[in-house]
Structure 1
């Protein structure tokens, strides 16, 4: 009986150990799964932030390229103006040189005739006096030589004056180019200051909506916030957000000087899913109509129409790759950007 009791007690006490071992193994498996999920989420967020930063850098590079293109076009215009002035100067110099050479030739011819007359005078030295016709010819040639020399002096003085004026114009053009570059740099810096204020305050008033994203110096509003699917008619929620934007834009615009040529650019974007309706034959028309709808609503709130521009890009400039629902949702957007014209 004692042995039977021992066997019974031993059999009953084995199971708690198995249960503890299985529980520990299950907890270990769950812990490993949690570590894996957290690492995947962190990696996904890191990749998303990296893509956003790359997009911001690409946008900034595009803006710098645009500013550089503007500066290059102005430089080319100044170079063309300088080239035209130099061409005119060269033509004027050529005409003056031609006239000068012609006068010098005439002077040389006249002096040659005087020398011939002098030789004739010496040959006729045995005569006490020259004939009246010879004296008149000598007098006339002497007067012509004096006149030609006077004209030559005037042309030489005019040529010198022309060279001095050309040098002054070159100096003035250099100074104008320098002032233009300085003024352009000041305007760019000034506009960047107002851009910073505008987007800083816009970020504050729209921060409550987690769907609104900031990429570089652009605000990205999801189309679902403003429009129904396949529509370009603003919804009530979208109008409320645009009311905040219009109020802020008018406040900032009153501080920007009139000589700063700024605009608010509204860009419409769609996803890659095609559309073909009587009203919108393609995503081009849909994205453009949505951008125009935003412009018209802001204009109705008092934003100057000449300070806004609408553009539709269709599906051709995505911010997220792929065709997953998340990527499609990110690509359906309205972008806002304060820039120069």
Structure 2
């Protein structure tokens, strides 16, 4: 018994695994059938709509064919009536000619009697009938022409409807072909999009690397320019000496306006020219050692105090500050500084360094600032 129980324990029950597999397959088959049924339903809707349109066009063609047959029957009746009226008109013309001949014979014999008068009256009536028949014939011919035109229009409409029906079938076939082409194009676009996203990720990595390199290069150039700027300001301080009216504020070398210009003027005075000449010599000496790939520039900024000016030469502090900066630039150019390395700007009274109202504060705000910067 113990051996039998051990053999029973070794038997594995695989039935639940088969049930899971079968249930999974059944779900997949149901999903595929549902997709197929939905596709058949939408396709049937589209085809039924097209069949309904074709049936409607067929009914319209049948109605137009009936109308065309009626129009043709009416035209035949009109033509028959017209031929009968033409025969009557010919008979009336013959009778009129016969009576006219009789009248001429009567005129020749000069007989006047009551029968002749009746015949003349009959001739006049026949002439009226002939005129009426001619008018009726003209109306009938116009009506026949109009009906012929309508018949041509109906035939053209029927031909157009037939063409439209054929075009609708061709358009449906073309739409199906275009749908297949669009699906193929969509697949190609998706592949191209995937490839583009892959290339974009690679390019982002390259751009990030280039940005890092560019920032490093810019930082290196800025540090190099900062080194030459420090050397320029240091040597300029040695040349000018310890003067109270010339000082360093941040990264700028500041000259009080009185050192360079008379009050209210943009003409350099002799002492100012000597100071700027020393500055130009120092700048040229430093510039000769600055590498060519460092794009440096010396910016000259003119500033005034807040007291307004209105003279024949300068109508505002804007004009005075700009004119003084330009005068400094022109003098440096005369001393050999390259023009492409210079820039002049006028700020008027709108960039004060001392907000006070005293004469000392106003004097500090009247200044020329020099800054060695990167363009």
Shorter-chain-normalised TM-score: which range? Answer: 0.5 to 0.7
CA contact (8 A) 1:104 1:152 kept: no
Specify which structure has the bigger relative contact order, considering alpha-carbon pairs within 8 angstroms and separated by 6 or more residues: 1
CA contact (8 A) 1:103 1:152 kept: no
Which is worse superposed, 237-246 or 250-259? 250-259
Q: Secondary structure at the match of 1:229?
A: coil
| Structure-2 separation of matches of 1:235 and 1:165 | 65
Match of 2:287 in 1: 253
Tell me the alpha carbon deviations over residues 303-337 of structure 1, each in whole angstroms, 9 at most, x when there is no partner: 11111111111112222233322222211111111
Of 255, 263, 270, 2:304 maps to 270
How big is the shift at 1:208? 4.5
| Structure-2 separation of matches of 1:154 and 1:314 | 64
Correspondence 1:48-127 to 2 at 5 A: none
How big is the shift at 1:276? 0.4
Match of 2:367 in 1: 333
TM-score, L = length of structure 2: 0.48
How big is the shift at 1:160? 5.7
Of 228, 233, 247, 1:199 maps to 233
Unaligned runs of 5+ in 2: 1-176
How big is the shift at 1:230? 0.9
| Structure-1 separation of matches of 2:316 and 2:342 | 24
Correspondence 1:1-341 to 2 at 5 A: 161-341=195-375
Tell me the alpha carbon deviations over residues 80-115 of structure 1, each in whole angstroms, 9 at most, x when there is no partner: xxxxxxxxxxxxxxxxxxxxxx99957xxxxxxxxx
With over 3 angstroms needed to count, the CA separation of the structure-2 counterparts of 1:161 and 1:248, relative to structure 1, is: same
Unaligned runs of 5+ in 1: 1-101, 107-149
With over 3 angstroms needed to count, the CA separation of the structure-2 counterparts of 1:160 and 1:219, relative to structure 1, is: closer
The count of residues paired between Structure 1 and Structure 2 equals 199
Which is worse superposed, 227-236 or 168-177? 168-177
TM-score, L = length of structure 1: 0.53
How big is the shift at 1:165? 2.8
